[in-house]
Amino acid sequence: MQHLYSSRSHLYTAMIALIGHRRSLKRFFQKRNMLMSGMTIIDAGCGSGALTRALWELAQEQHLSNVHFFGFDLTRQMLDQFQSWIDRDRVTNVQLLQADLLNLPPTPYSLPQANIIVTSGMLEYIPRDRFVEALKNLKSLLKPDGRLFIFISRTGWQNNIMVEKLWHANLYSQPELQTSCHSAGLSIISLKSFKTWGFAIELREDGPTIA
Ligand SMILES: C[S@@+](CC[C@H](N)C(=O)[O-])C[C@H]1O[C@@H](n2cnc3c(N)ncnc32)[C@H](O)[C@@H]1O
């Protein structure tokens, strides 16, 4: 997988520019109007930065202050592309880290806990039998009352070709996602279709059970 994104990092970035991936993500969060000054936001499997950049632009447009962004990804080549934007635009509040969601560095040394965690197109690459573990790792980075937003490809013939065959990724149905989130101790606030390819899921940590 790391090899795939090392050799195809530019192809991937060109493809998402073509389909307006960043614009769609930005519109999704614009409607929710949930960013606030002082927030910490983590983009897990940030790749070349589409999701962080969408949120960063919103924070700028809303004149928010002290918003700290952290992005981590397994693949150096993807992070290098993200870093080029940071350098070019002299961005000072985005920090990048090469890390594996399945083997996270201990908090808070490299990654802090976050008010918002976002992840797009990444959980598809987690081996199926470690999917719940990956969700639990994301949950471990959430502050109490934090929110996790997952954008993930769904089952369907188009994705069977585009996502499974071309990008060697796993696809999940809605019931599979619901069961996995539940097993990871996450409550679904909303689960909706996102564009033609996926689901957008908003989650929070399960609250204490009332006897
Ligand atoms: C389809 S790209 C998505 C990039 C970006 N989130 C976006 O929306 O454009 C998938 C990314 O997930 C990263 N990735 C896959 N498995 C990972 C893991 N276990 N830990 C961290 N990153 C991972 C890959 O290196 C790749 O950059």
Report pLDDT digits (tens) over 103-137.
998 766 789 999 999 999 999 999 999 999 999 99
Question: Which amino acids bring their CB within 6 angstroms of ligand 1?
Answer: 1, 5, 16, 21, 45-47, 50-51, 73-75, 78, 100-102, 120-122, 125
For residue 106, is it within any domain? yes
For residue 20, is it within any domain? no
Q: What is the distance between the alpha carbons of residues 207 and 166, in angstroms, rounded to a whole number?
A: 39
The CATH number assigned to the domain holding 109 equals: 3.40.50.150
Domain range enclosing 81: 2-9+40-194
pTM for this entry: 0.94
Structure token pair of residue 116: 């918002």
For residue 169, is it within any domain? yes
Closest by CA to 170, choosing from 126, 136, 134, 132, is 126
Number of structural domains (the chain) is: 1
For residue 205, is it within any domain? no
Predicted pLDDT at 105: 80
For residue 14, is it within any domain? no
